[in-house]
Amino acid sequence: MITDARLAADIASGAGALLLDIRTAGLGSADGRELGRRGDIAADAFILGKLAAERPEDAILSEESADDRSRLERSRVWIIDPLDGSKEYGLPGHSDWAVHVALWERGRGITAAAVAQPALGAVYASDDDSHAVHAEQLPARPRIVVSASRPPAFVDAVATDIGAEVSTMGSAGAKAMAVLRGDVDAYIHAGGQWEWDSAAPVGVAVAAGLHCSRIDGTPLGYNESHPYLPDLLICRPELAAPLLAAIAKHATDTADSGRVAMARAYIDALVSHDATKVRLADNAWRVENGQHTGESGAFIRDELENGLQYQAIQAVRDLSFHEWGDNVVARFVLDLGATPTEVTSVRITEHFDIPAGAIQSVMAIIEPFAIERENR
């Protein structure tokens, strides 16, 4: 029987070929966001089908599928991201998108992994020692890569401390593999990620001898009840100590929990009208001031992006979160108006029920903000 690492590589390669075909046919004729969704759905179906045929007894945790919590009782769980970097995938001229396939085993962590970068014609696997890394003398000017959309607030200060230069790139897998190839020396992320964002890149990087940890130096855990990881450091081994020391000095913000991160993504979508990062259960429901305004995750996601009632939202401010158990309450002020000079503000109290890896329900109380201030 094919080994787990070879299976991961074969599946990542096949999904990558499928994604290339979809991208070639869609670039220039489809909206970038829609093209990314097409790729996500097709690659997810391809990977799930291959795993069902080759490893039918194993559980799966996928970005594009509902979270089946029975995985928590299983000894083998495949953690997959069918298309990491869907934004870049939908843009011409970008190669920084990837396919992630990893296997987690109880008591052993990530034991097999592969990252495909189809636009580069490359597949990196945990059983391939051609990119083995060994500790060397510190580079004179280390190169750090960070997210183009969510760079850590502290990265410039860290770079100054260790004399590094900073660049940006899409896709966690693309950034991690840039470290593996030696294009850069470290990848730092502190804007929140999910297990599928890093499981395969970490599996490949660790097998090659790179340092992988949280930004406080603690281990990365997978197949957790809530599949959220706030931050990540992948770097050459000789850079780990100076980077961790610099990060500890400058990283003062407290990371969101997984549930708060999900609630924040929903609230961000109110302004951006991009619900790509919003995780909603298939049967999610929403109530606003006692009125049912959504009876499925797909409907709510479409409303966030296209609903006319949300198009006038200009800004969210004074945002705070309170979390207990499976619940998150967000309180904020919402500014609405057809133009920047015609703004009406309302006070929102929004309750999220998040029992697992997706929002199950949203209940909102909407009050006139001006009246609230007058009554104080």
pLDDT value of residue 104? 98
For residue 375, what pLDDT band results from cuts at 50, 70 and 90? very low
* 348, pLDDT greater than 70: yes
* Digit-coded pLDDT (tens) for 157-182: 999 999 999 999 989 999 999 999 99
Q: Radius of gyration over alpha carbons of the chain, in Å?
A: 21
Q: In 10 A of CB 190, how many CB atoms?
A: 23
Topology (CATH) of 256-366? Nuclear Transport Factor 2; Chain: A, (3.10.450)
pLDDT value of residue 370? 62
Q: Which of 81, 182, 79 is nearest to 132 (CA)?
A: 182
* Digit-coded pLDDT (tens) for 185-208: 999 999 889 999 999 999 999 999
Q: Is 81 annotated as a binding residue?
A: yes
* Digit-coded pLDDT (tens) for 350-368: 999 998 888 999 999 999 8
Domain ranges in the chain with CATH number 3.40.190.80: 141-248
| Separation CA 181–CA 110 (nearest Å) | 21
Are the C-beta atoms of residues 117 and 136 closer than 8 Å to each other?
no
Residue type, 11: I
* Digit-coded pLDDT (tens) for 214-269: 999 999 999 998 899 999 999 999 999 999 999 999 998 777 888 999 999 999 99
pLDDT value of residue 312? 87
Average pLDDT over residues 98-113: 98
* Digit-coded pLDDT (tens) for 126-140: 999 888 887 777 788
Backbone phi and psi for residue 256, each to the nearest 5 degrees, phi listed first: -65, 150
Specify which residues 329 forms β-bridges with. 322, 351
Classify strands 280-288 and 359-368 as parallel, antiparallel or unpaired: parallel
Are the C-beta atoms of residues 148 and 249 closer than 8 Å to each other?
no
Q: Is 165 annotated as a binding residue?
A: no
| Separation CA 348–CA 135 (nearest Å) | 52
Domain ranges in the chain with CATH number 3.10.450.50: 256-366
Topology (CATH) of 141-248? D-Maltodextrin-Binding Protein; domain 2 (3.40.190)
C-alpha 278, offset from chain centre: 10
For residue 373, what pLDDT band results from cuts at 50, 70 and 90? very low
Q: What proportion of the chain, given as a percentage, has pLDDT over 70?
A: 98
Question: Of the ranges 16-30, 50-64, 152-166, which one carries the lowest mean pLDDT score?
Answer: 16-30
Q: Is 84 annotated as a binding residue?
A: yes
Q: Which helix (H) or strand (E) holds 323?
A: strand 313-324
| Separation CA 162–CA 102 (nearest Å) | 33
pLDDT value of residue 77? 98
Are the C-beta atoms of residues 117 and 174 closer than 8 Å to each other?
yes
- The CATH number that domain 2-123 falls under is 3.30.540.10
As a whole number, the mean pLDDT across the chain is 92
* 374, pLDDT greater than 60: no
* 372, pLDDT greater than 60: no
Residue type, 294: G
- For the record, the structure tokens of 287 come out as 């109530």
Average pLDDT over residues 271-277: 89
pLDDT value of residue 154? 94
Question: Of the ranges 84-93, 145-154, 253-262, 289-298, which one carries the lowest mean pLDDT score?
Answer: 253-262
Q: Is 353 annotated as a binding residue?
A: no
